[in-house]
Chain A
Amino acid sequence: MMAYCVHCGVELAPSEKKCPLCNTKVYDPSVPEERAAVTPYPPYEPIAPERISKKSVLIVLTLIFMLPVMLSCICDFSINKRIVWAGYVAGGLLQVYALIFMSILLAGKNLRCAPMWKIGVNTFTLLGYLCYIVWVTDGQWFWRFAVPVVLIGALFIVAAILLRKFGGLTRLMTTAAVLAEAGTYCLIIELTINCAFLSRGALIWSVYPLATGWLLAVLMAVIDRSPALKERLERKFFI
């Protein structure tokens, strides 16, 4: 006796407990449920997916990054008899290394605060790198310029992530918030430059990104509030 799927109308082999097309459970009153039919393939046995240990990936990553750092240090030292430019190379590579390292370390951990950890570590390494540059160049701008700009930048990124994750905003509104933040950040950078290096109050360039960012943000907020307009624009400008 064969059963039929009540939904699709196809006949099902005795081995089928549910319809393979629509997942409707097969119920045939004339066939006892416990009767086991021969399945066309051996029964399913889950296989644990192969996992590459994070430790070994991190070791490989570290070695890959160490190679250019070592080579540039050796090269710099053999030419100049001291470290001149290799420090910049190493510092720049360290930024990339920290970014990838944290991503691998936190991957698959399902931590809600994972992005904060990434931003925290990268802010710290970036400040370290800038501190090194200030020290090498004998500059006086670390506390007056580098620290406020980097910390405020990190705060803006954290704010954008929090808005996206917990603010319940749509993608369009999140983009609007990011644009407004970016415009404001440009303003803060210019103000910090003025305070740290120029001792003047006039704003020259930051008003342009500030105005553009905020105008676009307001435009997106307006579009987001009107579903009909949003749908019309999506239809016209989809990529």
Chain B
Amino acid sequence: MGKKELRWLRLDNAAKIYPAARRRNWNNMFRISATLCDPIDPVILQQAVEKVLPRFPSIGVRLRRGLFWYYLEETEQIPAVQQDIWCPLSRMRFSDIRKCAIRVLYYENRIAVELYHALTDGNGGLIFLKTLVAEYIRQRYGESVPCTDGVLDCAQHPDPEELEDSFVKYCGNIKASRREPSAYRIRGLREEDGFLHITTGILKADAVYEMAHRYGATVTEFLTAAMIMSILELQKKDHPYRWNRRSVKVLVPVNLRRLFPSKSLRNFVLFYTTGIDPALGDYTLEEVVRIVHHQAGLEITPKRMQARITTNVRTEQIALVKVLPLFIKNIAMKMVYNLVGESKACLTISNLGRIQLPEEMHRYVNRCDFVLGAQVQQHNNCAVLTYGNTLYINFTRDIKEAKLEYMFFKYLRKLGLHILLESNQR
């Protein structure tokens, strides 16, 4: 009997930087989880993973090295589900990613998936988690969960459109400049053992939505503005003289599926930076919300995004770049990433939005969470999602000082929002 030919995929345009930018103890990972009403049965969860993973050929993969580019190759073995650890996202090494770039974890009532960012973005990861949890509920409770609201049918073959690199598909002719001034960097004492602090703020979603609408902004814009105000306060303490202060900017990912008709389950997000220049004067929250809102309006348009996609895709398509051996590309990309990759913003705020699940799943799913890993130079990151009437803000940091979280939640408290906190502090 002949050996099965393993499916392979090129890395999409956004994913190409991640393997090159890696460090010995750091890889760009994120985590999405769902908390159910009962303790998780690992045997059933394993069966669910075995059924679901073949439906996602771009996720059940490992990273492999070609002569000119990295690529993804289907894993021969379904990964075993693992018990969650005290410090999520921090201990997936590059050698692990080359065996399997996804982890399925369980702890008490929670199912979590941790994904290497080269495979997919938050949207793709969320669809995978929804499908996995739906399958788990079917097997555990015998519930008939329909394949709607982002739950995919495991009996179907994957749609080729789900595997496409949409960046290449929606690339145009006009390029946009990447030039941007550097931003203020939040510094701190790095945790020596790589511990990743996670602080979760739990808020009433309707209160936050109402407040955001009162300021004439979306929730992401409002939270981004509040974050900018908190960073401003932080910078004021570090640099008492205004002329010495640097731009305060936040990186916000945009789900391009909302602008382009893509079904891709791979990376299809672009980031834009939004922020203010504190050297120009003092700002009120109303001003910052207005600036953030208008900057978002300027950036999040199909034409602008297409121009930025074109810039990225054209770089990858330069003949000389293509024929350079991978190890040279790695050196060059790492240098570029180190020099400019994380210097344009203080941190990232990624909002997955309101999580929709089929009605049949709502009974069993109590909570959802989205956690981003820390970057190499950006020590803080923030991920947001809303499930039901609860908004979860997950802060991650790899430094000892919780100064940004302190400022941010204190700021929201001052605005009159009620916050419940939990964390993985030791």
Contact = CB atoms under 8 A, between A and B. Distances in A.
The answer to whether A and B come from one shared complex is yes
Interface string A9-48: 1111101101111100000000000000011111111110
Contacts of A235: 241
Nearest to B199: A20
Interface string B399-426: 0001001100110010000111111111
A2 interface: yes
Contacts of A18: 425
B interface SS class:
mixed
B85 interface: yes
A2 B420 contact: yes
A41 B196 CA distance: 12
Given A10-B421, A40-B423, A41-B198, A46 B193 contact: yes
B144 interface: no
A49 interface: yes
A49 B192 contact: yes
A5 B426 CA distance: 17
Given A9-B413, A41-B107, A49-B193, A21 B86 contact: no
Contacts of A67: none
B125 interface: no
Contacts of A12: 420-422
Given A21-B409, A47-B193, A10 B420 contact: yes
Q: Which 5 A-B pairs have the closest CB atoms?
A: A20-B423, A13-B422, A44-B426, A41-B424, A21-B406
The contact size tier of chain A is 20 to 34
B413 A8 contact: yes
14 contacts: A9-B410, A10-B201, A10-B413, A10-B419, A11-B420, A11-B421, A20-B402, A21-B421, A22-B402, A41-B424, A42-B107, A44-B87, A44-B426, A45-B86
Interface of B: 83-88, 107-108, 192-193, 197-201, 241, 244, 402, 405-406, 409-410, 413, 418-426
Nearest to A13: B422
B271 to A, nearest CB: 27
B85 A10 contact: no
Interface string A223-239: 00000000000010010
For chain A, what secondary structure do more than half of its interface residues adopt (helix, strand, loop), or is it mixed? Answer: loop
Contacts of B406: 8, 21-22
A83 to B, nearest CB: 36
Contacts of B201: 10
B254 to A, nearest CB: 29
A21 B397 CA distance: 12
A2 B189 CA distance: 31
Contacts of A5: 421
Contact of A21 (B83, B88, B199): B199
A14 to B, nearest CB: 9
Contacts of B87: 41, 44
Contacts of B409: 8, 10, 21
A21 B402 contact: yes
Contact of A16 (B88, B197, B402, B421): B421
A19 B421 contact: yes
Nearest to A20: B423
B308 to A, nearest CB: 33
A47 B406 CA distance: 28
A28 B244 CA distance: 44
B332 to A, nearest CB: 24
